[in-house]
Amino acid sequence: MLTQHHTPVCLSLASFDLPLWSIVETNATLYQREPERFHVLLTEPLIQDAQIGAGTAPQPGGMSTPRLLWLEITPYRVIMTMQGNGHFSYRHFWEQGVYGLSRYWLQTTDVMENNQIRLRNFTRSLFLKGKKLPSHLRIEYELWSEQVQIGHYVLNLEIQLQ
């Protein structure tokens, strides 16, 4: 069973203990794969790479390609993957009460280099609202590097169903 809906969404990420806050409002495609299993696919609006040094102007072609965000959602686990822009990608795995994995990749021209950063995340809570289709997702988690906590975050996804 594959059903598809195009709908406005608001994705936000905030930190409880760092000055970090980001919001993306855009349209997304919501796919229902099975009962209680959904994929949300959205394109993050274009961001300009500001490569401005002292007394230099932005370089032509400094525009990045749009970034594709893909969320695989169930009431028990969420996987979010960002790919695109040619420089940076990541994947987060969240499951309530579990230490998941957050991976970040920095792409370079050297194919042999493995520029992967692996962090652990502990999912404090995972809340999914909506009976037939999800309308709200909230994930509260901690990010860890070895034994050092590097932040407490909340990710919210509001899906505006018609």
Q: Which residue has tokens 């209680």?
A: 36
Q: What is the pLDDT of residue 53?
A: 41
Give CA–CA dist 16/96, Å, rounded. Answer: 18
Q: What is the pLDDT of residue 126?
A: 97
Q: What is the pLDDT of residue 50?
A: 44
Give CA–CA dist 151/119, Å, rounded. Answer: 12
Q: Which of 98, 101, 99 is closest to 79 using CA atoms?
A: 101
The answer to whether the beta carbons of residues 28 and 42 sit under 8 Å apart is: yes
pTM of the shown model: 0.81
Q: What is the pLDDT of residue 59?
A: 45
CA-based R_g, the chain, Å: 17
Q: What is the pLDDT of residue 60?
A: 45
Give CA–CA dist 41/154, Å, rounded. Answer: 20
Q: Which helix (H) or strand (E) covers residue 5, if one does?
A: strand 3-15
C-alpha 131: how far from chain center: 23
Strand pairing partners for 123? Answer: 141
Please report, for the chain, the start and end positions of each structural domain, with discontinuous segments joined by +.
Answer: 3-46+62-159
Could you please state the CATH topology (level 3) that the domain comprising 3-46+62-159 is classified under: Lipocalin (2.40.128)
Tens-digit pLDDT profile for residues 8-29: 999 999 999 999 999 989 999 9
Give CA–CA dist 40/73, Å, rounded. Answer: 8
User: CB atoms < 10 A from the CB of 121, how many?
Assistant: 22
Residues of the chain with pLDDT under 50: 49-62
Q: What is the pLDDT of residue 34?
A: 86
C-alpha dihedral, 72 to 113 to 142 to 33, nearest 10°: 0
Q: What is the pLDDT of residue 2?
A: 57
